[in-house]
């Protein structure tokens, strides 16, 4: 597949990195020679220096033969214009990164579709929605919902108060009557394991479980962390993500938002309805304590500085704040969150790149997600025609060893299937697969 990526920044680079692992034919365009040099040094891609909104540059990139054109620069105007031009030149599918929430309404999406932009992606909105899901299921470090939450994948750390330390997965299965779940992964000492029935749970393990929507809250019993609803939360940061998050959450939560810049504070005050906005040095923990940090149910650090976000989260944890979330830019940080005491780290650029990534995968893929720090992917497939998948039970499908079916959605019903379960036409299947198993899984569901 020929793919043209316009913009070699964090989103574009990570996307190119994911795609080169799939042996895709990638062309990367940017005006910055340094970022192109970095990309060409680290990735197997062809780079072109130039303005992505230039017809000449797009023709030079042979965009007319591109299966996919992705515009992810920091300028949404440039992204939209280049996507429209790429479509007119012959690109099959176009995707543009935007930040303006007005563009993401159904009506506006329809207008852009008519102009030639097939998909709009907003890193700010996707990250804000991720934060909303995490607050809704506040005892978990990760929450991934499929088919409107009919199947949820949740992650949590096994702390010293958990009742399942020293128990096997089979023993866990008997702890709660009438509760179907599947343990799909354990992150242990930076290694990813797919647990079997005799796998013993250890303190410090990070466990991922698949469950039906109505059973998700029962999973909290395993974590050892008392289930507590979040009502009051503190956000620090004057970034677009901080604003978008407050805008999304202020109808449901009591929010105190602290910003450094007075001009940004004025914009926040004028644009937000229920959020209490204050100007303060959010690096000053004592000041945040005076403002009631220790009384908050959740603390969300969304400043421009990853280290500030991490340190303030650790201090909030130390003060007993129930839920902590930190935004980070460096992907390395997302792999260590469970080991340093922060509930969750999010990277809006990784979230956006993973969201775009599903457009290029093989098979009838509906969605894709990556678990923080876990060397594997969650992929949702849909069965569109009757074949061997619908004529044999799951145990006879010969799935790769390093993969597991986490759940199945059939219409309005959801299932945590065993080996005897048989798939049907139009079923949606959520599969957890490690890198070495992904290609075979895709071939099976192709």
Which pLDDT score is estimated for 27?
95
Helix, strand, coil fractions of the chain, as percent rounded to 5: 40, 25, 35
Which pLDDT score is estimated for 51?
94
Binned average pLDDT, 10 residues per bin, the chain of 446 residues: 91 85 85 93 93 95 94 94 96 93 88 94 90 82 84 84 86 79 86 89 88 81 71 94 95 95 93 94 87 94 93 91 88 61 79 76 60 77 86 91 93 91 92 87 84
Q: What is the DSSP string of 188-216?
A: ETTEEE---TTPBP-TT-EEEEEEEGGGG
Which pLDDT score is estimated for 224?
62
DSSP character at residue 393: B
The rounded distance, in Å, linking the Cα atoms of 132 and 135 is 5
Look at the block and give the residue holding tokens 């379960």.
421
The rounded distance, in Å, linking the Cα atoms of 386 and 17 is 35
pTM: 0.76
Q: Are strands 46-49 and 413-415 parallel, antiparallel or unpaired?
A: unpaired
Exposure b/e, 385-395, CB count within 10 A at least 16 = b? eeeebeeeebe
| Strand (E) or helix (H) holding 308 | helix 306-318
Which pLDDT score is estimated for 257?
96
For 32, the token pair is 């910055």
Give residue-wise pLDDT tens across range 343-367: 788 888 888 887 787 676 554 566 6
Which pLDDT score is estimated for 159?
76
Give residue-wise pLDDT tens across range 370-428: 666 677 888 888 888 888 889 999 999 889 989 999 999 999 999 999 889 999 999 99
What's phi and psi for 278, nearest 5 deg? Answer: -135, 150
CA 181 to chain centre: 22
User: Where would I find the beta strands (DSSP E) of 237-387?
Assistant: 254-259, 276-279, 298-301, 323-327, 344-346, 365-370, 377-382
Q: What is the DSSP string of 137-184?
A: TTT-SEEEEETTTTEEEEEEE--TT-TTTT-BHHHHHTTSTT--EEEE
| Strand (E) or helix (H) holding 309 | helix 306-318
CA 133 to chain centre: 11
């Amino acid at each position: 597949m020929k793919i043209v990526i316009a913009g070699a920044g964090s989103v574009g680079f990570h996307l190119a990195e994911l795609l080169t692992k799939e042996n895709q034919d990638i062309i990367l365009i940017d005006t910055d020679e340094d970022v192109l040099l970095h990309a060409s040094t680290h990735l197997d891609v062809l780079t072109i220096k130039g303005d992505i909104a230039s017809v000449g540059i797009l023709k030079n990139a042979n965009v007319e033969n591109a299966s996919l054109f992705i515009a992810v620069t920091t300028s949404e105007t440039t992204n939209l214009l280049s996507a429209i031009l790429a479509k007119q030149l012959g690109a099959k599918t176009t995707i543009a990164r935007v930040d303006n929430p007005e563009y993401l309404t159904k009506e506006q999406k329809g207008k852009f579709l008519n102009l030639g932009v097939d998909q709009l992606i907003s890193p700010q909105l996707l990250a804000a929605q991720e934060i909303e899901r995490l607050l809704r299921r506040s005892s978990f470090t990760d929450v991934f919902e499929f088919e409107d939450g009919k199947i949820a994948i949740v992650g949590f750390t096994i702390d010293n108060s958990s009742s399942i330390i020293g128990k096997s997965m089979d023993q866990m299965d008997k702890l709660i009557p009438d509760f179907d779940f599947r343990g799909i992964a354990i992150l242990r000492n930076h290694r990813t394991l797919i647990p079997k029935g005799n796998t013993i749970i250890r303190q410090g393990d990070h466990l991922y479980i698949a469950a039906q929507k109505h059973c998700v809250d029962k999973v909290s019993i395993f974590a050892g962390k008392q289930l507590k609803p979040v009502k009051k939360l503190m956000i620090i940061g004057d970034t677009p993500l901080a604003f978008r998050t407050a805008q999304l959450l202020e109808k449901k939560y009591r929010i105190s938002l602290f910003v450094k810049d007075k001009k940004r504070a004025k914009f926040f005050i004028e644009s937000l309805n229920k959020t209490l906005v204050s100007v303060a040095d959010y690096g000053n923990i004592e000041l945040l304590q005076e403002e009631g940090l220790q009384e908050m149910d959740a603390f969300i650090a969304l400043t421009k500085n990853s280290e500030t976000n991490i340190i303030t989260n650790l201090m909030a944890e130390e003060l007993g704040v129930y839920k902590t979330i930190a935004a980070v830019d460096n992907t390395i940080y997302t792999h260590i969150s469970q080991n340093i005491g922060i509930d969750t780290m999010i990277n809006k650029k990784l979230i956006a790149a993973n969201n775009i990534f599903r457009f290029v995968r093989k098979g009838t893929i509906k969605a894709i997600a990556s678990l923080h720090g876990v060397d594997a992917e969650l992929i949702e497939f849909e069965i569109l025609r009757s074949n061997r998948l619908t004529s044999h039970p799951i145990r006879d499908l010969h799935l790769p060893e390093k993969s597991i079916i986490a759940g199945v959605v059939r219409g309005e019903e959801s299932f945590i299937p065993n080996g005897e379960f048989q798939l049907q036409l139009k079923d949606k299947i959520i599969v957890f697969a490690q890198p070495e198993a992904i290609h075979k899984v895709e071939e099976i569901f192709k």
